[in-house]
Amino acid sequence: KFRKKVDELLLEKKKTKCKVESLEESVTANQKIIDVLSKEKKENHLAIEKLQQSVKLYEEKVTIILQEKDRIDFERSKLEKTTEKCRKEADEILKEKEEI
């Protein structure tokens, strides 16, 4: 009876050892997965930073372009006013010539 109990305990010990080894393998595999995911997370973070820098750069370029557009619109408006003034002066000069 005692021998039977010892055999049962030894068998239980072997089963427990196998379970522990299996769990250790799972832990090792999971750690490798965690390492890969951590590396991917760092790479994604760097990619996000680069994209944010690109967006900021494009926003700055758009701001410069809009400022240049405003300046061009202002210059165009000045030229249109000057052109209109010159036309009026030319019309007046022509009228004066006709009167003479």
Tens digit of each residue's pLDDT (9 = 90 or more) over 15-63: 999 999 999 999 999 999 999 999 999 999 999 999 999 999 999 999 9
Would you state the structure tokens that stand for residue 76, as one six-digit string? 């165009």
Stretch 5-18: mean pLDDT: 93
Q: What is the 3-state secondary structure (H, E, C) of 26-48?
A: HHHHHHHHHHHHHHHHHHHHHHH
Give the pLDDT score at 22.
Answer: 96
For residue 60, the one-letter residue type is E
**Alpha carbon distances (Å) from 87 to 10, 11, 29, 60, 71:** 113, 111, 85, 40, 24
Split at pLDDT 50, 70, 90, the class of 2 is confident
Give the pLDDT score at 99.
Answer: 80
Would you state the structure tokens that stand for residue 20, as one six-digit string? 């522990």
Q: Could you report how far apart the first and last alpha carbons of the chain are, in Å?
A: 145
